[in-house]
Amino acid sequence: MLSCREETELMSQRLDRPLSFGERFGLRFHLLFCRGCRATQQHFAFLRTATRAWREHHDVDSIPR
Amino acid sequence: MTQHELSGAVSALRPRLLRFAHLQLRDTSAAEDVVQDTLLAATERAHQFAGAAAVSTWVFAILKNKIIDEFRRRSRQPQADVDVEQEQGLEDALEDQFDERGHWVSHPTPWADPQASLEQKRFWAVFEICISGLPEKTARVFGMRELLGMETEEICKELGLSTSNCWVLLHRARLGLRDCLSRRWFGEN
């Protein structure tokens, strides 16, 4: 089983490449038991949402300034 | 749209172009230079603007290419000692979040309703402060991935980095930003 540190690497890479079946399975299992990593997963997902919103702002001007 | 209207629409984008370039180039005069080049290129290529896309989309596409050119140029220069130290500083700070077995020293906690932050002007100021606080090389890779929306392979190729090196930098950027936003916005700790 991977450590939390290694799982955060996978959670990051998931945003950049498709994970293998084994990696996805291991990560899902780890997240069941680890609230720190569950929070990290939420944080990483939100970073993706926020950067996308920042980028789109320049085309649609939807972010309050 | 007449030539005259187009050039008016392009000039009106200047403040947004500057802000976009500044966050990524981290240098006012470099940002002004790429924006100037972009406005010039847009004017020269006005006949290429088909009117199918929004003017802003078209101009931002030109700006993005100029920013990538600048990143490519910078990546060929030797890294300054202070940058190497900052990269190491961030790496050490992130390592301290884990014990010797790679487990959390203190568990991160979920952010409450992060979606609501997107509507708040102050959040975006903090967001930009956190990105500006990342070491240069880490910020460059993260910016290309998330602010310019490039694929990881393309970024590695442009900057001459190995794929695993890109992943390490992206991981570091995300942990660093998470830490910064937790402390400065979401009020953890």
Looking at this predicted complex, what is its ipTM?
0.90
User: Residue A56 in contact with residue B56, Cβ under 8 Å?
Assistant: no
Give residue B47's identity as a one-letter amino acid code. H
Residue among A37, A26, A53 at smallest CA distance from B110: A37
Q: Please give the share of chain B, as a percent, with pLDDT higher than 90.
A: 72
Per-domain boundaries in chain A: 4-60
In Å, the largest CA–CA distance within chain B is 65
User: Residue B102 in contact with residue A5, Cβ under 8 Å?
Assistant: yes
Q: Is the pLDDT of residue B53 over 90?
A: no
Q: Is the pLDDT of residue A38 over 60?
A: yes
| A35 near B CB under 8 A | yes
Q: Check B102 against A3: CB less than 8 A apart.
A: yes
Dist. CA B4–CA A50, nearest whole Å: 35
Contacts of A61 in chain B (CB under 8 A): 16
Q: What is the mean pLDDT of chain B?
A: 90
Dist. CA B2–CA B86, nearest whole Å: 50
Q: What is the 3 state secondary structure string of A24-44?
A: HHHHHHHHHHCHHHHHHHHHH
| A24 near B CB under 8 A | no
The CATH code of the domain at B3-75 is: 1.10.1740.10
Of the pLDDT bands very low, low, confident and very high (cuts 50, 70, 90), residue B168 is: very high
What separation in angstroms does the CA of B162 have from each of B26, B156, B157, B169?
24, 6, 8, 11
Contacts of B114 in chain A (CB under 8 A): 42, 46, 49-50
**Average pLDDT for A15-31:** 97
Question: What pLDDT is attached to residue A50?
Answer: 96
Per-domain boundaries in chain B: 3-75, 81-184
Dist. CA B153–CA B108, nearest whole Å: 30
The CATH code of the domain at B81-184 is: 1.10.10.10
Question: What pLDDT is attached to residue A59?
Answer: 58
Q: Check A65 against B124: CB less than 8 A apart.
A: yes
Question: What pLDDT is attached to residue B52?
Answer: 60
